[in-house]
């Protein structure tokens, strides 16, 4: 049994209480995770405040960059055991968790490159004798809260820009998947980060509430469900604390009749069944133009039936279990609701059974056809391997259906007609649009949503704006008294 440890002020902390981490493949406890008390959360925030004021904010960018590169080196060296721990913790297949460790190191290196390049501007003014310039300043202590589906992948969107900008952090991973975040904090300490710069507290809602309401927190970045995000934003607004929210999605994957159907089918299958559908950008609504509707549905159903389910640590496995029992029960409940609303069950529709699947939280890849936009399954985020296929007539119909949900995180357009692509992209109310691909990502490309999918951006240079504020400096070098209400030209 592994004992995960929090990191507070450079020290590993066992905590006064613990909870079991359960492997969703075996349904057995494999680790213990501390349950932080409000007092322990307070210690972590205070340590981050001291580290910020006593040195980190004045640490040269080149030094911050060196430490970030050192952490990237350590993460790359430990990528295999880290990937295995994450797959054990949340059931994501080992091929994907390996990729996420590599991507996390890439993000660290990308933002390390910005650490000594966070520039201000000089601004010419109307009045001669005044010199004006801006500086980009860190907020202070940033609370970084991540979800259970991709703990290190999500943290890699937040931690690097926060550190590069000069903030210190207190990280709170999901109580359902905390182990790898604790391990990353250990690697950071070994890489030479000063005590208090990177702190990790673990636990459930009580821990999260203590963190986001602490008066020492100056910035919050949250990835998770929309309801929790709204609660955090409301709480933070009372203290005027800026918040970045990366929330849920109900992403439309739009296939036009002129698309390369083979490529579109592969994109649709990977878009919903990769990570067992437990990703905010899952292409859970497949919009298919009527002339190719039957062909596309048949092809996707055939591929879905062939997906290999099993041990997430087996490199041959293509889809793992649901990450935890509450999510497993919720997915099955939404499948039952779709049946009750009259959606046509094409394949799947319940627990997956068979060799090596008896103990795990496995759900069969599920497809519902002839879904109408008013059905619950077409509007509510399932966060599981459940695809809703919706037919459409033309461009106008596709755009109407695509935008007619509360979410606006991502979308895809499959078409060979570049003029059509640009017309449709221009009308989609989402933060990310893929064209003839799905779930592609890059450290340089900004990511985030609109509507109930949240606000603010992660990754890319835009992410630095989330962790800095602009300070304006105006200097009078005229040497004489000045009437501030007179504009001189």
pLDDT recorded at residue 173: 98
In the chain, the domains with their CATH numbers are 2-247+453-473 (3.40.605.10), 252-435 (3.40.309.10)
Q: What phi and psi values does residue 153 have, to the nearest 5 degrees?
A: -60, -40
Write the pLDDT tens digit of every residue in 218-237: 999 999 999 999 999 999 99
pLDDT recorded at residue 481: 72
Percent over 90 (pLDDT), the chain: 95
pLDDT recorded at residue 92: 97
Identify whether the C-beta of residue 191 lies closer than 8 Å to the C-beta of residue 71.
yes
pLDDT recorded at residue 308: 96
pLDDT recorded at residue 479: 86
For the cut 70, the answer to whether the pLDDT of residue 484 exceeds it is no
CA dist 402 and 256 (Å) reads 13
Q: Which of 61, 82, 51 is nearest to 193 (CA)?
A: 51
pLDDT recorded at residue 339: 95
Sole residue written with tokens 């969107």: 157
For the cut 60, the answer to whether the pLDDT of residue 255 exceeds it is yes
Write the pLDDT tens digit of every residue in 378-393: 999 999 999 999 999 9
For the cut 70, the answer to whether the pLDDT of residue 307 exceeds it is yes
CA dist 338 and 167 (Å) reads 45
Identify the band that residue 1 occupies on the pLDDT scale cut at 50, 70 and 90. Answer: confident
pLDDT recorded at residue 480: 82
Q: Work out whether the CA dihedral 48, 54, 58, 61 comes out positive or negative.
A: negative
Q: Any idea which residues carry the catalytic annotation?
A: 246, 280
pTM for the structure as a whole: 0.96
In the predicted model, what is the mean pLDDT of residues 238-263? 98
What's the mean per-residue pLDDT of the chain? Answer: 96
Q: What phi and psi values does residue 156 have, to the nearest 5 degrees?
A: -65, -15
Write the pLDDT tens digit of every residue in 42-67: 999 999 999 999 999 999 999 999 99
CA dist 363 and 148 (Å) reads 18
Identify the band that residue 487 occupies on the pLDDT scale cut at 50, 70 and 90. Answer: low
Write the pLDDT tens digit of every residue in 401-424: 999 999 999 999 999 999 999 999
- Six-digit token string for 61: 């960018």
Q: Which of 272, 215, 287, 281 is nearest to 249 (CA)?
A: 281
- HSE-up (13 A, CA, CB side) for residue 58: 5
Identify the band that residue 278 occupies on the pLDDT scale cut at 50, 70 and 90. Answer: very high
pLDDT recorded at residue 482: 65
CA dist 117 and 196 (Å) reads 24
pLDDT recorded at residue 354: 85
Identify whether the C-beta of residue 15 lies closer than 8 Å to the C-beta of residue 40.
yes
CA dist 258 and 417 (Å) reads 7
CA dist 263 and 385 (Å) reads 20
For the cut 60, the answer to whether the pLDDT of residue 116 exceeds it is yes
CA dist 20 and 384 (Å) reads 23
- Six-digit token string for 389: 């296929």
pLDDT recorded at residue 488: 55
Write the pLDDT tens digit of every residue in 204-217: 999 999 999 999 99
Residue 87, CA distances (Å) to 72, 92, 136 in order: 20, 5, 39
pLDDT recorded at residue 450: 98
Write the pLDDT tens digit of every residue in 131-162: 999 999 999 999 999 999 999 999 999 999 99
């Amino acid at each position: 049994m592994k004992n995960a440890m929090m990191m507070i002020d450079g020290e590993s902390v066992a905590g006064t209480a613990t909870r079991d981490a359960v492997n969703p493949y075996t349904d057995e406890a494999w680790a213990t995770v501390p349950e932080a008390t409000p007092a322990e959360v307070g210690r972590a925030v205070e340590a981050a405040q001291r580290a910020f004021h006593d040195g980190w904010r004045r640490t040269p960018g080149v030094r911050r960059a060196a430490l970030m590169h050192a952490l990237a080196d350590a993460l790359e060296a430990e990528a295999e055991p880290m990937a295995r721990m994450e797959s054990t913790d949340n059931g994501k297949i080992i091929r994907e968790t390996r990729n996420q460790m590599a991507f996390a190191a890439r993000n660290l290196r990308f933002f390390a490159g910005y650490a000594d390049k966070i520039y201000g501007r000089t601004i010419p003014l109307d009045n001669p004798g005044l010199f004006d310039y801006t500086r980009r300043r860190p907020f202070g202590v940033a609370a970084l809260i991540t979800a259970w589906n991709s703990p290190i992948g999500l943290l890699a969107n937040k931690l690097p820009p926060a550190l590069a900008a000069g903030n210190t952090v207190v990280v709170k991973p999901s109580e359902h998947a905390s182990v790898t975040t604790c391990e990353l904090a250990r690697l950071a300490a070994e890489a030479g980060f000063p005590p208090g710069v990177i702190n990790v507290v673990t636990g459930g809602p009580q821990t999260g509430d203590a963190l986001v309401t602490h008066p020492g927190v100056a910035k919050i970045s949250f990835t998770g469900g929309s309801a929790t995000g709204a609660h955090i934003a409301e709480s933070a607004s009372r203290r005027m604390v800026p918040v970045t929210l990366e929330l849920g999605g109900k992403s439309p994957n739009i296939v036009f009749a002129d698309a390369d159907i083979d490529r579109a089918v592969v994109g649709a299958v990977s878009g919903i069944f990769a990570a067992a559908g437990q990703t905010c950008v899952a292409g859970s609504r497949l919009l298919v133009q009527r002339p190719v509707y039957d062909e596309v549905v048949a092809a996707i159903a055939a591929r879905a039936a062939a997906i290999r389910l099993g041990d997430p640590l087996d490199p041959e496995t293509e889809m793992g279990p649901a990450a935890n029992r509450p999510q497993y029960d919720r997915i099955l409940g939404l499948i039952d609701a779709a049946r009750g609303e009259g959606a046509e069950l094409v394949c799947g529709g319940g627990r997956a059974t068979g060799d090596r699947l008896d103990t795990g939280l496995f759900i069969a890849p599920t497809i519902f056809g002839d879904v109408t936009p008013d059905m619950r399954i077409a509007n509510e985020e399932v966060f599981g391997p459940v695809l809703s296929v919706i037919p459409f007539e033309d461009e106008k119909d596709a755009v109407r259906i695509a935008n007619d949900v509360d979410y606006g995180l991502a979308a895809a357009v499959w078409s060979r007609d570049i003029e059509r692509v640009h017309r449709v992209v221009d009308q989609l109310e989402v933060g990310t649009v893929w064209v003839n691909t799905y779930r592609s990502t890059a450290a340089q490309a900004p990511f985030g949503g609109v509507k109930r999918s949240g606000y603010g951006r992660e990754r890319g240079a835009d992410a630095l704006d989330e962790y800095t504020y602009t300070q304006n400096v105006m200097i009078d070098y005229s040497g004489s008294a000045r009437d501030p209400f007179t504009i001189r030209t």
